[in-house]
Amino acid sequence: MTDEKRPTHHTAFGFENRYPLPETGKRSFWRFLKRRYFGSENWPKAKHQHGKIPTEAPDMDAIHNPDPARLQVTWIGHATALVQYGGLNILTDPVFAKRASPFRYVGPKRYSQPGLRIDQLPTLDLVLLSHNHYDHFDVESLGKIGNGPRYILPLKNGTLLEKAGISPDQYEELDWDQSLSHGGITITHVPSNHWSARTTKDRKEMLWGGYILEFADGYRFYFVGDTGWNERLFTEMGEQYGGIDFGLIPIGAYEPSDFMRNAHTNPEEAIQIMQVMGIKQALAIHWGTFVLTAEPVDEPPVRLASARKDADIGENDFIAAPIGATRFFDGKTNHQTNDLPETKAAQ
């Protein structure tokens, strides 16, 4: 592909963020490790975090007998969520592994168990994969899920999915702003401000991003994926894609902020995403599962509650649920009824 025809986020060796943010210093895996183990921050230790994150038994009856007219979301942990609406069962970033790492005994260890086991999942229609980081793309988990669902993932990630045993005819790779249809819904891959890597030598070789799903009845769902706050990017996306009924928005892994802010959002920035994208209701993800950064593991929902109050957003409109919790939200028909003037809604 010549430079004249190549999209601006495509590079000679991979990809770049749409509006790259200025870096405050050189970033590398080795600098991260130095900061992690020899820096001044007091990073939590996974073995001391057990029991700090609330858990709740999932609603197995609802999970296996969902009402297609309402949205139900079960937070399994981190960025893994079971989303059910319109008769479809959708799983985001399935990671059921004990570690978010290429190694068996080294790397971020899970301190909160998954809210559902793989064998407890309903028959899946779709799996959405945001990018190739180990806390979002676990080959072992994907291999256990197998070739039943259709997988949607960013460009250049297909070969990694095939290592999990997924057949090429079971997945679709999408570029940013590219769409496809499945079971009456339109799936659009949208940008995020992040990066990709599985080793120290493949940074940004595979694409990353989020997804907006529009169901047959017009209900719109947004899986943000992993992102840092980028005002220019999200303002533009809000103009292009704004007006979302429900979103999965990340709120954790943000300290030290000078190192993490271009890759992850803190709770205050998550609220900004909600506002700029016009998201009516949301559930918080990307917290409470792995020690990836320096903030206390139970801090993100506390900060979210404060930021939500400051932004005059209702307590039930952006929730940080217990792991395993199944939560229910109005579908499109109920939304439309609730949006009517009171006299008409009562008729």
| Residue 31, pLDDT above cutoff 70 | no
Q: What is the DSSP letter of 109?
A: B
Checking if the pLDDT of 314 tops 50, the result is yes
Tell me what pLDDT residue 30 has: 60
Note the pLDDT tens digit of each residue in 202-245. Answer: 999 999 999 999 999 999 999 999 999 999 999 999 999 999 99
pLDDT tens per residue, range 265-283: 999 999 999 999 999 999 9
Whether the link from the prior residue into 102 is cis, omega within 30° of 0, is: no
* DSSP label at residue 55: B
- Residue 346 clears pLDDT 80, i.e. is over it: no
Tokens of 305: 């509650």
Tell me which DSSP letter residue 68 carries.
Answer: T
Strand segments, DSSP code E, in 207-301 are 210-214, 220-223, 244-250, 279-285
What is residue 38's predicted lDDT score, i.e. its pLDDT? 66
Whole-prediction pTM value?
0.93
Report pLDDT digits (tens) over 135-171.
Answer: 999 999 999 999 999 999 999 999 999 999 999 999 9
The CA distance from 42 to 256, in Å, is 10
Residues 6+ apart with CB under 8 A from 134: 95, 99, 100, 101, 102, 107, 108, 198
Confidence of residue 33 (pLDDT cuts 50, 70, 90): low
- Tell me what the pLDDT averaged over the chain comes to: 93
What is the C-alpha to C-alpha distance for residues 95 and 141, in angstroms, rounded to an integer? 6
- Dist. CA 187–CA 184, nearest whole Å: 10
Residues 6+ apart with CB under 8 A from 178: 188, 189
**In which band, very low, low, confident or very high, does the pLDDT at 344 lie, cut at 50, 70 and 90?**
very low
Q: Which SS3 state, helix, strand or coil, does residue 169 take?
A: helix
Question: Does the pLDDT at position 340 exceed 50?
Answer: no
Give the tokens for residue 91.
Answer: 């799983």
Band of pLDDT at residue 43, cut at 50, 70 and 90: confident
Beta bridge partners of 173: 153
Please tell me the total number of residues recorded for the chain in this structure: 347
Return d(Cα 147, Cα 123) in angstroms, integer: 11
Strand blocks (E) in 183-260: 185-190, 210-214, 220-223, 244-250
165: number of CA atoms within 13 Å, CB side? 9
Nearest to 307, CA basis, from 238, 251, 242, 243: 251
Q: Which residues contact 91 (CB under 8 A, 6 or more apart)?
A: 80, 81, 82, 83, 121, 124, 126, 127, 128, 145, 149
Contact 276, 235 (CB under 8 A): yes
What is the DSSP pairing of strand 220-223 with strand 244-250? parallel
The SS3 of residue 332 is helix
